[in-house]
């Protein structure tokens, strides 16, 4: 009998859904998330990758799968990465490889990769600045999105460029204690398996 995985996929996905429901949807950080969540159109995948090369392989598989999937069934994919790229700067560097992969698959302009990370930090913010939480998640996450879904969402929400500023204010009003009380962290601490 093999040992239980350090990051049981069920717990990792449950942590991610809790973060999505309490923070992203609950605080309305992304007004487009509620609809796809309610319709069950988010595909959750826990990567077992422990290095960038194997993660790139997982990312390629999921990009192709999303591109081929019926948008009514799968509008977006959250590729959750609990076992590698724990350091935010390494994760940030990986995003360049993700963009190159999109281009090599001829999916640039069809899909895009957004990102969330437990240590996310805006370039002009201090590490402890609560506004960093707008892009923080319990685990590193590569969010695979359809460009046409983004376009439709922006048409339905004409002031989309204001989301960023609104989110900053929401987090400042909430404060560090309020964020902590949301209980949206990882139950399998990244880097502490």
Q: How far apart are CA 162 and CA 128, in angstroms?
A: 23
Q: Which residues are paired to 142 by β-bridges?
A: 79, 115
pLDDT digits (tens, 9 = 90+) for 108-157: 999 999 999 999 999 999 999 999 999 999 999 999 999 998 887 777 77
| CA–CA separation, 88 and 121 (whole Å) | 8
Q: Quick check: helix, strand or coil at residue 145?
A: strand
Helices (H), the chain: 9-19, 33-38, 52-68, 88-104, 147-156, 163-182
Per-residue confidence (pLDDT) for residue 91, from 0 to 100: 97
pLDDT tens-digit series, residues 31-84 = 889 999 999 999 999 999 999 999 999 999 999 999 999 999 999 999 999 999
Res. 193: pLDDT tops 50:
no
* pLDDT tens sequence across 67-79: 999 999 999 999 9
CA 102/CA 100 separation, integer angstroms = 5
Instruction: Tell me the C-alpha distance between 188 and 8, whole Å.
Output: 8
Q: Which long-range contacts (CB under 8 A, 24 or more apart) does 154-160 make?
A: 157/31, 157/32
């Amino acid at each position: 009998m093999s040992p239980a995985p350090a990051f049981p996929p069920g717990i990792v996905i449950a942590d991610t859904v809790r973060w999505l429901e309490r923070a992203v949807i609950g605080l309305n950080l992304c007004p487009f998330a509620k609809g796809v969540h309610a319709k069950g159109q988010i595909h959750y995948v826990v990567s077992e990758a422990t290095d960038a090369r194997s993660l790139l392989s997982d990312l390629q598989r999921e990009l192709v799968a999303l591109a081929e999937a019926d948008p009514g069934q799968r509008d977006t994919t959250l590729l959750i990465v609990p076992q590698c790229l724990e350091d935010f700067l390494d994760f940030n560097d990986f995003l360049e490889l993700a963009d190159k992969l999109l281009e090599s698959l001829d999916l640039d302009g069809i899909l895009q990769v957004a990102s969330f990370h437990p240590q996310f930090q805006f370039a002009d913010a201090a590490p402890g600045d609560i506004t960093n939480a707008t892009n923080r998640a319990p685990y590193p996450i590569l969010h695979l999105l359809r460009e046409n879904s983004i376009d439709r969402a922006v048409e339905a929400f004409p002031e989309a460029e204001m989301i960023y500023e609104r989110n900053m204010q929401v987090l400042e009003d909430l404060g560090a204690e309020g964020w902590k009380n949301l209980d949206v962290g990882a139950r399998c601490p990244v880097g502490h398996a």
